[in-house]
């Protein structure tokens, strides 16, 4: 199983310590391919796509409109 976390580098130019999960591009339990965009996170005025680090089944951990910090766990991806 792999963890999908928000890259701390996205906060490199941000003055705010947190962001928000805007929406999931795939439903909970969906099969995804490595590199596929699975969620959008807003940090200040910038919208960032989060991609799957590997192929497998997504389990959403952070729901839409959740406040997230650098390195927060968004989801897990398990083997098919």
Question: Is pLDDT at 12 greater than 90 in this prediction?
Answer: no
Domains of the chain: 2-78 (2.40.50.100)
pLDDT by residue (tens digit) across 46-65? 899 999 999 999 999 999 99
Q: What is the residue whose two structure tokens read 């965009």?
A: 37
User: Helix (H, G, I), strand (E, B), or coil: what is residue 33?
Assistant: coil
20-40 per-residue burial string, b: 16 or more CB within 10 A, e: under 16: ebeebebeeebebeeeeebbb
Residue 51 buriedness (CB in 10 A; 0-12 / 13-18 / 19+) = middle
Judge if pTM exceeds 0.85: yes
**Nearest-CA neighbor of 72 among 21, 6, 26?**
6
The pLDDT value recorded for residue 11 is 78
């Amino acid at each position: 199983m792999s963890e999908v976390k928000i890259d701390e580098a996205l906060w490199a130019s941000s003055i705010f310590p947190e962001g928000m999960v805007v929406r999931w591009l795939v439903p909970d339990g969906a099969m995804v391919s490595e590199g596929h965009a699975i969620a959008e996170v807003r940090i200040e005025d910038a919208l960032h796509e989060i991609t799957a680090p590997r192929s497998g089944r997504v389990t959403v951990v952070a729901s839409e409109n959740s406040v997230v910090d650098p390195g927060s766990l968004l989801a897990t991806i398990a083997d098919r």
